Amino acid sequence: MSDQEFLGVAFVGLGWWGDVLADAALASGSARVIGGYARTPSSREAFAAKYDCRNYESLEQLLGDPEVEAVSVASANSAHKEQAIAAAKAGKHVHLEKPMALSVSDAREIIEACEASGVKLHVGQNFRRWPMFRRAKEMIDKGELGTISFAIAHFSYNLGLTAGEKSMRWDPVENPGGPLYSYTVHLADLMETLFGEIVDVSATFGKVGGPSPTDDAAAAALRFRSGMVGVLSGSYVAPFRFLFDIEGTEGALSLSSASMPKFQAMGEQMAEAELLDVGVGFLKGRDLANSEQFADLARCVRSGGEPEVTGGHGLRALAVMRGMLKSHAERRTVTVEEILSSD
For residue 265, being part of any structural domain is answered with yes
Tell me, what's the pLDDT at 269?
A: 83
For residue 14, being part of any structural domain is answered with yes
Q: What is the mean pLDDT of the chain?
A: 96
Instruction: Tell me what the mean pLDDT of segment 102-119 comes to.
Output: 98
Integer Cα distance of 277 and 262 in angstroms: 9
Residues 80 and 193 in one domain: no
**143-to-137, 150, 187, 216 alpha-carbon distances in Å:** 10, 15, 22, 37
Residues 167 and 157 in one domain: yes
Question: pLDDT tens digit string along 171-223?
Answer: 999 999 999 988 899 999 999 999 999 999 999 999 999 999 999 999 999 99
Question: pLDDT tens digit string along 133-167?
Answer: 999 999 999 999 999 999 999 999 999 999 999 89
Residues 300 and 156 in one domain: no
Q: Could you tell me the sign of the dihedral formed by the alpha carbons of 113, 115, 119, 125, in that order?
A: positive
For residue 222, being part of any structural domain is answered with yes
Q: Looking at residue 173, which CATH number applies to its domain?
A: 3.30.360.10
Residues 170 and 78 in one domain: no
Helical pair 185-195 and 131-141, crossing angle rounded to 10 deg: 30
Tell me, what's the pLDDT at 4?
A: 64
Question: pLDDT tens digit string along 66-94?
Answer: 999 999 999 999 999 999 999 999 999 99
Residue 304's region, left for phi above 0, alpha for psi from -120 to 50, else beta, is left
Residues 105 and 245 in one domain: no
Residues 157 and 229 in one domain: yes
Residues 266 and 136 in one domain: yes
Residues 270 and 302 in one domain: no
Residues 168 and 104 in one domain: no
Domain that holds residue 31: 7-126+287-309
Residues 146 and 25 in one domain: no
Q: Looking at residue 92, which CATH number applies to its domain?
A: 3.40.50.720
Integer Cα distance of 246 and 273 in angstroms: 14
Tell me, what's the pLDDT at 329?
A: 97
| Residue 283 confidence (pLDDT) above 80 | yes
Residues 33 and 137 in one domain: no
For residue 1, being part of any structural domain is answered with no
Residues 47 and 186 in one domain: no
Instruction: Tell me what the mean pLDDT of segment 18-42 comes to.
Output: 97
HSE toward the beta carbon, residue 266, CA cutoff 13 A = 10
C-beta of residue 211 within 8 angstroms of C-beta of residue 190: no
In Å, how far from its chain's centre is CA 160? Answer: 19
Total number of domains in the chain: 2
Higher pLDDT, 3 or 55: 55
